[in-house]
Amino acid sequence: MKTELEKFLQIVDSIYGLYLDAVAAFIDWSKALENGQKQIMSKEGKTIEQLDNLPFAYTDQDFPNAHIKHSRSIGDVKNRNKKGGGNHVIMANLCLVLIYQYWEIYRTKLETILSFPKNHIKSNLMADVKYLRNSILKHDGIGNHEMKKCKIILWFKEGQLILLNQQRFEIIIQLINDEILSINKKYGV
């Protein structure tokens, strides 16, 4: 039978896989749009700038009466999907928020199994993740006053935009894995 910490690490690994799948797909989509633009450029003689300003819309595919679900310029769609673009940051932030929510669930289960009072199991790292989570959810992704409480994740200050790039997100995932192994060893579970 798997321990609660092993289950938590499995979830973290699944969330990390989701993140990696998503950012790879974002990059592929951005490249596909660029390749399509290159084909149009060679046929119609338009510039990338002209093509970037054209609208792009997601629809419900009910032709000829398609309903537009979301519309932006092609340039906006390419930029948010390129490596390090807005979709990458949003995905990392969403994954971090989700990881913390699961941490709270599995920490509570473990404390119950070990007959510990609520919030007995402490982690400086997961406290930092909580501070980031709070800034992401409650302060529009801007570091709040809790940033000065961070002990492990020291990249962001109060008033700074929380921008988790792929490298930083991967560091956090590794730190979480190491931290859970340490907690596992400390409590012998």
pTM of structure: 0.89
Q: Where are the domains of the chain?
A: 4-187
Burial of 184 (0-12, 13-18, 19+ CB in 10 A): middle
pLDDT tens string 73-84: 889 999 999 998
Burial of 123 (0-12, 13-18, 19+ CB in 10 A): middle
CA distance 143 to 134: 9
Q: Three-state secondary structure along 65-120?
A: CCCEEEEEEHHHHHHHHCCCCHHHHHHHHHHHHHHHHHHHHHHHHHHHHCCCCCCC
pLDDT tens string 106-148: 999 999 998 999 989 999 999 999 999 999 999 999 999 999 9
